[in-house]
Structure 1
Amino acid sequence: MHKSFKIQIIATFVIMSLFCFQSFVILNLSQKNSTSKALFGAMKHETIIKNSFLKNENITPSLNYKFAIYDVNFNPIISNLSKQPSNFKFVTLEENGFLFYKSFFIKDKTPYYIVVEKELDNEKNIFLAALMLLVILVAVLFIVYFLYLSSVKPYKEFQKYMNNFFNDAMHELKTPLGVAGMNLEMLGLENKYITRIKNALKQMQITYEDVEYFIKRGYIKFPLERLNLGEYIIERVKFLSSVADVKHIVVKTNLEDDACTMLSRVEAQRIIDNTIINAIKYSPKESEILINLSFENERIKLSVQDFGKGIKDVKKVWKRYVREDEIQGGFGLGLNIVSEICQKHGILYGVDSVYGEGSTFYYKFKRA
C-alpha cells in the first residue's frame, strides 16, 4: 500500500509540474501577444502623428497612446509622454510597464525622431496568473482527495475491519481460557500435568492480554491511579511463580515500601508481566531471577535480572515482531508494548546485557 501510494504521489507531482510548465508557456505567449498588439497599435499611431506633423495639422491626442517628437539631439519639441525612456538606443523598448516605439522621419530636410508610448496591460496577465494558480490549487486538492479515497481510506477501512476481527477473535478466545482455568481449579488435582496445563494457560493469558492491549490502546484510555509498585509486583510474582517453578527457577525480590507512581494497572501489568515472563523464558533451569525496586533521586527504579544467555543486540529487543530466540516462539510484541507504555508516560527504560552471562531490564518510574 505504501509503495503504491508513493508511486501515485510521484505521478501527481510529475503531472502537476507539467501542468505548471504548460501554464507558464501559455502565460508567456499571452504576454507576448499583448506586447505584439501594443506594438502594432504604436506603429499605426506613429504613422498618424507623423502625417499630421508633416502637414502642419493639429495632432489629435489619443487615450491609449502618447507620443513625443524630438530633434536630432533628442531635445523634445512636442511631448505628452508619461515617462521618458532611459535611453534612445532602441527601436522598441519595454521598461517599467511601458512599451516605447521609436522611428525616424525628415521634414523640410530636417531629421526628427518620434517616440510612441503605450502602457502595457498587466492586469490581464495578473488575472490569468491568478486564474491558473486557482486551477492548479483546485487540481491539487482534487488529486489529493482522490489519492486519499483510493489509497488511505481503503487502508483505514481494512485496519478497522482487522481490529473488529481481532476484537471478536479475542472475545471468543477469552471465554474458553476462563472456563479452562476455572474447571482446573474446581478439579482440585495437583500433579505435574495439571501444573503444566495451568502454566500454559497463564502464558496464553499474558499473550491474550498483550494482543488485547495492542488493539485497544488507540481508542481506549486507561485511567491513571496512585499505584504501589512493590505490592503490585508481589501480586504479579505470585501469579507467575508457578511458571518459574516448572524450570525450578527461584524468583528473589528486594522491594522498597511505599514506592508509588501514577500509572494504570493495565499498563503496569504489561510492563511487569512481560519483563518477568521474558526473564523466565530465557533463563536456564535451576537458576534465579532477581527483582529489585529502589529509590533513585526523584524516580523509582525497577530492575529484573536474569542469568540466561544474554542478548546479542539490545536495540532490537524493543522492536515489534522481533524475537531474540526464534526457537522460543511468541509474537515479538510484548517488549514493544512495554516500550510504547514507557514512552507514553515518560518512564526511562533500558537493558544491560552481557552475551553468555545474562540481562538486566530496568525501568525508572516517576514518583507519585
Structure 2
Amino acid sequence: MNLQIDENKFLKHYAVLYTAIITLILLLPLFVYTKHLYTLQDVKSEIELKNIAYDIISEIEKFGFSNMVDTFIYPRYKNYKSGLFDTNKNPVFSLLDTKPKLNMQLGYSKQGLKRIYTIEFPHLRYFNARYLIVESDFDYMPILKDFLIVLFSIIVISFLLSFIILKSFAKPFSRINKALDGFIKDSMHEINTPLSIININVDIFSEKFGINKYLSRIKSASKMLSTIYNDMDYLVKEQNMFYRQKENIDFSNILMKSIDYFQDIAELKAIKIEYEIQSDIHYPFVQAKLQKIIDNNLSNAIKYSKEESKVIIRLLKKEEYILLEFEDFGIGIKSPEKIFSRFYRENHTKGGFGIGLNIVNRITQEENIKVELKSEYGHGSIFSYKFPLN
C-alpha cells in the first residue's frame, strides 16, 4: 500500500457517488417534468386531430354546396388516417387500418399508441354517415429525447460540480497527506540506524561477555521492534512489490532461518518452538512477501502464547499445494472474522499496531493462497496457508 492517497482516484470515486445521489434525488422532479411533457403532447395531439376532423367536415360541406363537381375527393393527410362510418360502425369510406370498436367513446380517446378523435353527426347528412373518426400514432420520441437530454445534463453537471468542489476541499488534506507520507518515510530511515546499532552492539557484547538474561531481553525487544519496523517498511514499499519478479525460493531454508531468528524472543517466555519442515521445498514467490507471511505468523504465535508453552510450525508438500501451518497453545481468538482487519488487536497489552496480519491477508489474496483459521478461545489457534502448486 502506498501511504499517499491517490487523489484523482479519490475525487473520481466520490464525484461518481455524489452524482448518483443527486441524480436519484432529482429523478422525482424529472419524472414529474416528463409526465407534464406527456400531458402536453396529448393535448397537442387532441387539438391536431380535432382540427383535422373539422377540416374534413369543411371539405365535405363545400362539396355539398357545389353543383359543379360530381365526385368528392376525400382529404388525405401524411400523418393522419380517417374514415366515415354508419350507425353500426361499418365503413362508408375509410382509410383506417382496422374497423373501430362499437363502444368507442366520442371525442378524444387512446388505444395503446393510437390517438383517436370521434365526431357523431346529428343527421345522416354526410354520405349517410353517422361518425367521422380520425386517428394518428402518438409520437413519444420528443418526450424521450427531452428526458434523456435533461438526465444527461443532470449527470454531467452534477459530476463536474462534485469533482470541482471535492478537489477544492481535498487540497489541504492532500498537502497534509504528502507531509505525513514524507514524515513517515524520513522517520523509518531514522529508526533504522539506531536499531541496527543496537542489534550490532548486542551481538558484539554477547560474544565478548556472554549471554545474560538482561542482554537476552534487550536482544528480544530489538528483534520485536525490528519486526514492527519491517512491517512499516513493507507498507511504504508495498506498491513496488507488485512489480517484483518471482524467484524460485528455497522455502524450507527461509522458514528455518526465521525460526532461528525468533528463538531469542520465544526463550524470553520459555516457549519451545517445535517444527516439522520437509527439506528442499522450492516455490516461485517474491521473497519479501514470503518473509512477511512467515515473520508475522511466528511473531503473533509467540506473542499470544502462554509462558512455558510451545509453538508448532509445519511445512509439508502435498499433491496440489504446499502447506505452511502455525499452531500455538495461547489465548485463542475471540473474533476470527476480524483478525485480518487493519489495526485490529484483541489484546491491547501485547503491543504492535495491528497491521501484520492485514499485510498477510493482502498478500494471500494477491497470490491466491488459501487461508484457514481454527481457533478455540483460551486454548490456542492454528493458521494454515495453502500455496497452490499449479
Q: Tell me if both proteins adopt one fold, taking TM over 0.5 as the criterion.
A: yes
Distance 1:289 1:199, change over 3 A: same
| Alpha-carbon distance, 1:71 to partner | 4.8
TM norm structure 1: 0.82
| Alpha-carbon distance, 1:243 to partner | 1.6
| Structure-1 residue corresponding to 2:52 | 42
**Contact 1:306-1:359 within 8 A present in 2 as well:** yes
Aligned pair partner of 1:253 in 271, 275, 295: 275
Q: Deviations over 1:258-283 (max 9, x none)?
A: 12222211111111111111122122
Aligned pair partner of 1:113 in 130, 139, 145: 130
**Contact 1:241-1:251 within 8 A present in 2 as well:** yes
| Structure-2 residue corresponding to 1:345 | 367
CA distance in 1, matches of 2:258, 2:126: 116
| Alpha-carbon distance, 1:215 to partner | 3.9
**Contact 2:45-2:115 within 8 A present in 1 as well:** no
Aligned pair partner of 1:138 in 153, 162, 166: 153
SS at match of 1:101: strand
| Structure-2 residue corresponding to 1:81 | 95
1:127 aligns with 2:137: no
**Contact 1:54-1:107 within 8 A present in 2 as well:** no
SS at match of 2:121: strand
State the superposition RMSD in angstroms: 3.6
Aligned positions, number: 363
Distance 1:9 1:186, change over 3 A: same
1:292-303 aligned at under 5 Å gives the runs 292-303=314-325
Q: Which runs of 5+ in 2 are unaligned?
A: 1-9
Distance 1:336 1:43, change over 3 A: same
Identity %: 25
Structure 1: which amino acid aligns with 2:194? P
Q: Which moved more, 1:144-153 or 1:263-272?
A: 144-153
SS at match of 1:44: helix
1:177 aligns with 2:187: no
| Structure-2 residue corresponding to 1:20 | 30
**Contact 1:317-1:323 within 8 A present in 2 as well:** yes
| Alpha-carbon distance, 1:136 to partner | 0.5
CA distance in 1, matches of 2:90, 2:379: 101
Q: Deviations over 1:303-360 (max 9, x none)?
A: 2233323333433322322223221121111122222222222223323334433333
1:140-219 aligned at under 5 Å gives the runs 140-150=155-165, 154=170, 157=174, 161=178, 163-185=181-203, 190=210, 191-219=212-240
1:330 aligns with 2:376: no
| Structure-1 residue corresponding to 2:260 | 238
Aligned pair partner of 2:303 in 281, 287, 305: 281
**Contact 2:89-2:131 within 8 A present in 1 as well:** no
| Alpha-carbon distance, 1:207 to partner | 0.8
CA distance in 2, matches of 1:75, 1:366: 81
TM norm structure 2: 0.78
Distance 1:60 1:352, change over 3 A: closer
Q: Which moved more, 1:260-269 or 1:9-18?
A: 9-18
Q: Deviations over 1:191-222 (max 9, x none)?
A: 44443333222211211221232343345324
SS at match of 2:51: helix
**Contact 1:261-1:366 within 8 A present in 2 as well:** no
Structure 2: which amino acid aligns with 1:197? I
Structure 1: which amino acid aligns with 2:387? F
**Contact 1:320-1:333 within 8 A present in 2 as well:** yes
Distance 1:291 1:167, change over 3 A: same
